[in-house]
Structure 1
């Protein structure tokens, strides 16, 4: 039945994509997040949806069938990303021979970066920015809704294992990815015009909170807690933000099983937790490999090979002193941190470029805040930049404990911030004065914030 439903959807989506390059681009991004084959049981599960819509998009670009396409211009974000890609390309070529997944991870990253760079050709209006957020929400939000409902009907007993065959195949990766979606879902709730759609996004938001609980991920919980604090700190509507945070806390208290609370309590005694100390050991191995290969590292996920893992001693790394008398692993592990993952894979230079991309995202969000401070017609842009910055914040915090450095959605969010900045700059230029189709200004008393709502 699922396969027949997907076949019916594709019969509608494919003709639309073939007639509109931006529509094809949206579906390209959506299929990379939703992982369609995971939900299919039959003949529709073997199709390469993402590749098909990527080729359709690029073909329509080549033959000139795209509407309202902007010329590609380098900007600060794209330059940093291209520098990072150039560096990891050399790293992949020079990778240690034991890095068995080196080129498969490298090619996946190239595909993700290609998608992000194409964004600057397409996403040049408020409507398209809004559509990009919807595509992310329909991807990550679908997982949050499905798993959140399972958590609800089992009164918190459902345990999420992730999506096999994707970058969210681990419950911790899955939980962090869902936390990234929360501020985007909140923005869509605030700015969708149709009431039914607004309440739909609210429902998905609450279900996603439940899904984070169901993931049993301490890192995702910590990221969600810090995200709630940052939301109350940065939101223009602090009353509404506080209300949502209290609602989320109520859901956690009511639906979380005792075993979940016991697991979360171990955060306070991390030095006695074998799982956490295993992470410290992995971080130490990553630093040891980076010290041996400071410029280009050892290649994508090379540290997961036994040859490299057991080829270093605890004293070779920068964190060896933290291990104390902890028992060492009998097998190679993942880096369990986006920062140590990049450090071990691509050396200190690669980590600096990775941090530069991250820092640039927050600088871009602050610039958008400044540029829109005295423009009531652009307050929506400030709110969107806040949502995207909070999504990046969730990644930086939650990613500290998971190997998710090459997660496509993060780079998409970073590039969306740049696309939003470019749009705001265009609106601030003299003699703009154009209205956007399908966008209205909410009627409010004089002097009050005017909220623009996109469909």
Structure 2
């Protein structure tokens, strides 16, 4: 029954795409985020659904769609350069079988991120893509939030739609994306023209934000807690009453603490001391190994190069001994442990060329969104302020992701690369407005210069 419902929904959207091929792009966003082929039990699990919709989205754009207004931006060139370098390192990977398995999904993530801005040639399409991203991720976040409220969850135990540990269904990844998505949820609720603003849309957005905040508690991931802290800090930039906001956040935290599971607070307490937690100690040891590895292999070792690591480190535990506490040290040997950081993931797999391209792609996105924020800050045009708010949401979501990515291997996470695609599309669509805003700012300065020049001219 589940398979029939999912296939009927996908088939209906695919049929409508014959008239509006852009719907196939939105359908791929849904399929790539939700992975409905994992939800079903029968025929849908045997279909290469992601690849079929991926091909349909491209063919629909190339053959059926109107390409007027499509632009290729230089940040798309950075994505293409990263894709090309990943292909080169995969050909010479230390562990070819594992590397090609990862390449099977990474290339689609990068290609679609470069392709997406070409299809978002109008503001309505940009808004539609943002809405579908929010609703698709919401279909995973809402069940996770409900299960957390009902007392389910635990580290590595919270299952949302399916029992899976990959993509958005992995606990730390879901926690990071859920918090990073909150600014986009707020923007959709406040500025969407697809769904009219009403008490129902605001209530749904509030409930979805609450569910997103519950995800790090249900998954018991330290990364999620850090992401919440970062989001709280960056939101200070846009709230009117900062002291009231800070006070309200502190009160909300104090009120929530008694209701948090003891297992959650106990796990969060290990943030301050990585030696007291084997998982955190492993991360640090892997990072040190990666630094040594890349010195010997500056061009990287290809996908999953971590399989070659081996290291030994000490952990510290405190035990009770008849009313007194004693500290015990133990030696742990690990091998083949994952990078546990997007930064070290790219560095170890793609070497110095790859990390430079990846960082350039991320940092230029922050810069472009900040440029839009500042140029439209003083505008009296509601439309300018609307897109300024989207630039802010995309920047804040990216900042949350970049902090969360310090502790989990999500360097090529499809949802976040889609977010970069939205950034590129927004920048391309706003270039005309940027020029107009720059000219408006320059007029008073030019007038003052001409005035001074006139005053200094001989009578």
Q: Indicate whether the TM-score tops 0.5.
A: yes
Query: What is the SS of the residue equivalent to 1:330?
Result: strand
1:424 aligns with 2:430: yes
Query: What is the SS of the residue equivalent to 1:18?
Result: coil
Query: What is the SS of the residue equivalent to 2:303?
Result: coil
How far apart are residue 107 of structure 1 and its match? 3.3
How far apart are residue 177 of structure 1 and its match? 2.1
From 283, 286, 289, the counterpart of 1:282: 286
Q: What do the CA deviations read for 1:331-367 (whole angstroms, capped 9, x no partner)?
A: 3100000011111101122112111111111101111
What does residue range 27-176 of structure 1 map to in structure 2 within 5 Å?
27-63=27-63, 65-67=64-66, 69-73=68-72, 75-96=73-94, 98-154=95-151, 159-161=157-159, 164=164, 166-176=166-176
Cα pair distance change 1:241/1:376, threshold 3 Å = farther
1:199 aligns with 2:198: no
Query: What is the SS of the residue equivalent to 2:300?
Result: coil
Which residue of structure 2 lines up, in the alignment, with residue 210 of structure 1? 214
Which residue of structure 2 lines up, in the alignment, with residue 365 of structure 1? 369
Cα pair distance change 1:418/1:426, threshold 3 Å = same
Contact 1:141 1:205 in 2 (8 A): no
CA distance, structure 2, for counterparts of residue 111 and residue 11 of structure 1: 22
Which residue of structure 1 lines up, in the alignment, with residue 352 of structure 2? 348
- How many residues are matched? 413
Which residue of structure 2 lines up, in the alignment, with residue 406 of structure 1? 412
CA distance, structure 1, for counterparts of residue 184 and residue 246 of structure 2: 17
Which residue of structure 1 lines up, in the alignment, with residue 2 of structure 2? 2
How far apart are residue 50 of structure 1 and its match? 2.1
How far apart are residue 200 of structure 1 and its match? 1.5
Q: What do the CA deviations read for 1:272-301 (whole angstroms, capped 9, x no partner)?
A: 22211111111112112211111x211001
Which residue of structure 2 lines up, in the alignment, with residue 450 of structure 1? none
How far apart are residue 212 of structure 1 and its match? 2.1
Contact 2:99 2:303 in 1 (8 A): yes
Query: What is the SS of the residue equivalent to 1:365?
Result: helix
Q: What do the CA deviations read for 1:257-280 (whole angstroms, capped 9, x no partner)?
A: 111111111112223222111111
From 322, 326, 331, the counterpart of 1:327: 331
How far apart are residue 189 of structure 1 and its match? 2.1
Contact 1:231 1:241 in 2 (8 A): no
How far apart are residue 69 of structure 1 and its match? 4.2
What is the RMSD computed on CA atoms of the aligned residues? 2.7
Q: What do the CA deviations read for 1:32-71 (whole angstroms, capped 9, x no partner)?
A: 01111232223333333322222212222232x1146433
Contact 2:22 2:61 in 1 (8 A): no
What does residue range 246-395 of structure 1 map to in structure 2 within 5 Å?
249=253, 252-253=256-257, 255-294=259-298, 296-304=299-307, 308-310=308-310, 327-377=331-381, 378-395=384-401
How far apart are residue 13 of structure 1 and its match? 1.4
Q: What do the CA deviations read for 1:91-143 (whole angstroms, capped 9, x no partner)?
A: 111211x3432122223222112211222221122221211111111122211
Cα pair distance change 1:6/1:267, threshold 3 Å = same
**Which one has a larger percent strand, Structure 1 or Structure 2?**
2
TM-score, normalised via structure 2 length = 0.82
Return 5+ residue gaps in structure 1 as ranges. Answer: 315-324, 432-455
CA distance, structure 1, for counterparts of residue 35 and residue 105 of structure 2: 14
From 224, 229, 234, the counterpart of 1:225: 229
Cα pair distance change 1:326/1:376, threshold 3 Å = farther
CA distance, structure 2, for counterparts of residue 5 and residue 255 of structure 1: 38
Which residue of structure 2 lines up, in the alignment, with residue 436 of structure 1? none
Query: What is the SS of the residue equivalent to 1:327?
Result: strand
Cα pair distance change 1:12/1:281, threshold 3 Å = same
Return 5+ residue gaps in structure 2 as ranges. Answer: 314-328, 438-459
Query: What is the SS of the residue equivalent to 2:164?
Result: coil
Q: What do the CA deviations read for 1:292-317 (whole angstroms, capped 9, x no partner)?
A: 111x211001212xxx213x799xxx
CA distance, structure 2, for counterparts of residue 244 and residue 199 of structure 1: 20
